[in-house]
A and B are shown apart, each in its own frame.
Chain A
Amino acid sequence: MSLIEIRDLHATVDGKEILKGIDLTIEAGEVHAIMGPNGSGKSTLSYVLAGRDGYEVTSGQVLFDGEDLLEMEADERARSGLFLAFQYPVEIPGVATTTFLKTAVNAVREHRGEGALDAMQFLKFVREKAGALNINDDMLRRALNVGFSGGEKKRNEVLQMAVLEPKFAVLDETDSGLDIDALKIVADGVNALRGAERGMLVITHYQRLLDYIVPDHVHILAGGKIIQSGDKTLALELEEKGYASFVGAEAA
């Protein structure tokens, strides 16, 4: 059984069809990258997988560990082990980062039958993970993402992934807005989470991120469809030739 199996997925936003038949299968232990120009449907795919309201699936199927993902609510998906690292993490004034993390971690743990962590256990657990991402106690105390720099927000996303320990993670343009140092920290954090049990889908516009998070497979998304798939060399080829040649080839 594959970790995730997307079959002929069509989805609309505000009545407009954005995804026009996506087929994609990811096995546990694999990292796939989806590259595509602006407007190709990259973010729509990530939101459809995460279950955001307003992203309507009109046909197709997504099996997650053999279960019908599209039947689940967004929070059920997350508790079942799906994780979306947001391109634009929101700021939530008045909710301390630690409080948020603890609520999320315990929701997921209880779902797995692992029992909730108490305040002390949680603090020890989160500090261990945060240290590796250069996230200090001060950041954890602050309101969620409020006043965080772009890099801090992205590191916070990776921290959330680290503490929630998902089976399948979608990283939506996690490289956007990062300088090279921040990119390295984020990539190291992501790489540390690679494992035989876990699958990842890295969505990006640029090849740059894939120098640090090296994928097993690369897909090119254009016009709501995957138009070409290959190994990591496809990303380099794309970088060299530009999207136009691929998208043009499809159109021709």
Chain B
Amino acid sequence: MAQPVPFLEDFDAVLPGAGTGWLDRLRADAQEAFRKSGLPTPRIEAWKYTNLRRLARTGFVAAEANQTTEVTTVPEGIVALEDAYVAVFVNGRFAPSLSSLDGLSEGVEATSLAAKFSAGPTSLEGQFSDVTDLPMATLNTGLLSDGLYLKLDDGVALDKPLHLVSIGTAGEEPVSFHPRHLIVAGAGSVATIVESHVGSGAYFSNSVSEVSVGDGAVLNHYKLQNEGPEAYHLAANLVRIAERAVYDNFVLQVGGSLARNEIRSELGERVECRLNGAYLACGEQHIDNTTFIDHAAPNSSSREVYKGVLDENARGVFQGKILVRQDSQKTDGHQLNKTLLLSPGTEIDTKPELEIYADDVKCSHGATTGELEEELLFYLRARGIDPQTARGMLVAAYVGEALDEIQAEAPRAAFQAVVDDWLESRSERQG
């Protein structure tokens, strides 16, 4: 007898836009593919270091079938942005009452995917990428229902950041949801998108974000993963960056029980792509950052700096691949992963990978792992600074170097505040 398929078994909710031919087929094909593949196991190279066994055993119920918990306020822990458009999603469903999207200028469309499906699903036909080689994203396609739809017309500049807030919430029963976000930045447009992922209870957020950066556009995209301590967070980000565009991405992961953020970026010609991040983990947390930079055209540059701090029994994973295709001459690609291990129970698996087929390129990668330097600690202590404060200063400085990569000032300060909070709670735990 066949094993029950997680997430698809007993799923009988009617999804938005059901009855539309292409959408039904898209979902059915994806469901079929996921039935065949199942959850990825460590036997698959890409999932070698992140094991979903515990997730598979949890017995999540689809959020669609479990609407018992209500959220009336946005919880703490999100990126503190003074002035932003806010799109809030609760268990993957757009929550208009918590959102504020008023005053968006002409040429900006920000709405929910479900609303788009209801209004007339034909407009979205062909907009969803083929993700068959990503099992979790395939599951997401199979249950495609809601998410952020953001479209910037050519030449439009968003006057303040758009803040996507995802709130996960579960009562007694663990719930799962699969949001799909579509972000289309037209040619020459300029925007900053900030994501905050927070929540409480045992929930599983399995999101896919598709980002298209048009010719000459500048898109800043910063994400905070600050999920609740029992949460699972798997996110796939598919980013296409067209000619002369600039994409500045930063991911700060501090929350969740098990979290993986995967970015696949495809670079056009003369693109500047920046994928940076930081991860801070303690307890039994498992945090994975997996990136793939595809230099698909010549004369582009990519820069990648990921820095992590692991404490107690936390485990980190960094997998970073850079592919430079044969015609992608004059590629400039640099990658660095550094992890600070604060206690003997921690573990980091880091796998940098360069695959280069062009001959006129500048590429480098590096990975370091280490403890706080005794010499630096002694210097601070020799000036009267107690060991706990001294360690805190050195850890903050370590992470600060990654945060410096964030190009937009206000988000950088807000992310810094999250790091400061983490460090403070760490020293309280120890104090």
Contact = CB atoms under 8 A, between A and B. Distances in A.
Interface residues of B, number: 22
A108 interface: yes
A107 B379 contact: no
A247 interface: no
Can you list the 4 inter-chain pairs with the closest CB atoms, starting with the nearest? Answer: A94-B397, A78-B384, A104-B383, A75-B381
Contacts of B382: 50-52, 74-75, 77-78, 83-84, 86
A164 interface: yes
Contact of B384 (A90, A99, A164): A164
A104 B401 contact: no
B407 interface: no
Given A74-B381, A75-B381, A107 B394 contact: no
A100 interface: yes
Contacts of B393: 95, 99-100, 103
B397 A95 contact: yes
Contacts of B381: 51, 73-75, 78
Contact of A74 (B378, B396, B400, B401): B378
Contact of B383 (A51, A78, A94): A78
B375 interface: yes
A119 B109 CA distance: 45
A51 B381 CA distance: 9
B374 interface: yes
Contact of A92 (B374, B384, B389, B394): B394
Contact of A90 (B379, B385, B387): B379
A108 B384 contact: yes
Contacts of A143: 397
Given A73-B381, A107-B383, 17 more contacts: A50-B382, A73-B387, A74-B381, A75-B382, A75-B384, A75-B386, A78-B385, A86-B379, A92-B376, A94-B400, A100-B383, A100-B393, A103-B385, A104-B380, A107-B389, A111-B384, A164-B383
A79 B375 contact: no
Contacts of A94: 396-398, 400-401
A90 B397 CA distance: 14
A230 interface: no
Contacts of B379: 86, 89-90, 92
A48 B302 CA distance: 48
A93 B385 contact: no
Nearest to B398: A94
8 contacts: A50-B382, A52-B378, A53-B374, A73-B381, A74-B382, A75-B381, A94-B400, A160-B383
Nearest to A95: B397
Contacts of B374: 53
B420 to A, nearest CB: 13
A89 B398 CA distance: 19
A95 B394 contact: yes
Contacts of A104: 380, 383-385
Contact of B389 (A86, A103, A108): A103
Nearest to A92: B376
A113 to B, nearest CB: 14
A164 B379 CA distance: 14
Contacts of B397: 92-95, 143
Contacts of B389: 103, 107
Nearest to A160: B383
B376 A90 contact: yes
Contacts of B384: 75, 78-79, 104, 107-108, 111, 164
